[in-house]
Amino acid sequence: MKIKAILIFSFMGLISCHNKKTTISTVVASSEYKIDSNTVKKHLYTLASDEMEGRASGTAGIEKAAVYIEDEFERIGLSPFKDLETFRQTFTFQNSSTKKEITASNIIAVLEGKSKKNEFVIISAHYDHLGILKKEGQLDRIYNGANDNASGVTGVLVLAEYFKNKNINERTIVFIAFTAEEMGLMGSTHFGKGIDPKKFVAGINLEMIGKIPSSGPNTAWLTGFDRSDFGKIIQQNLEGSPYQLFPDPYATYNLFFRSDNASLARLGVPSHTFSTTPIDVDKEYHQVSDEVETLNMTVITQTIQAVARGTESIINGTDTPTRVVLDEQ
The predicted pLDDT at position 31 comes to 57
**What is the predicted pLDDT for the residue at 32?**
73
pLDDT at residue 328 in the model: 59
Q: Does 282 score more than 60 pLDDT?
A: yes
List helix spans (H) across the chain. Answer: 37-47, 60-76, 151-166, 186-193, 230-238, 261-265, 297-315
CA-closest candidate to residue 157, choices 45, 278, 26? 45
The confidence score (pLDDT) of residue 200 equals 98
Q: What is the average pLDDT score of the chain?
A: 91
Distance in Å from the first CA to the final CA of the chain: 17
Q: Spell out the domains of the chain, with CATH numbers in brackets.
A: 37-315 (3.40.630.10)
Contact assessment for residue 69 and residue 127, using Cβ atoms and an 8 Å cutoff: yes
pLDDT at 92: 98
Q: Is the pLDDT of residue 167 over 90?
A: yes
Q: Using one digit for the tens of pLDDT, what is the confidence trace for 184-240?
A: 999 999 999 999 999 999 999 999 999 999 999 999 999 999 999 999 999 999 999
pLDDT given for residue 7 in this prediction? 35
What integer pLDDT is reported at residue 13 of this predicted model? 38
Question: What does the pLDDT read at residue 294?
Answer: 98
- Residue 164 has what pLDDT? 98
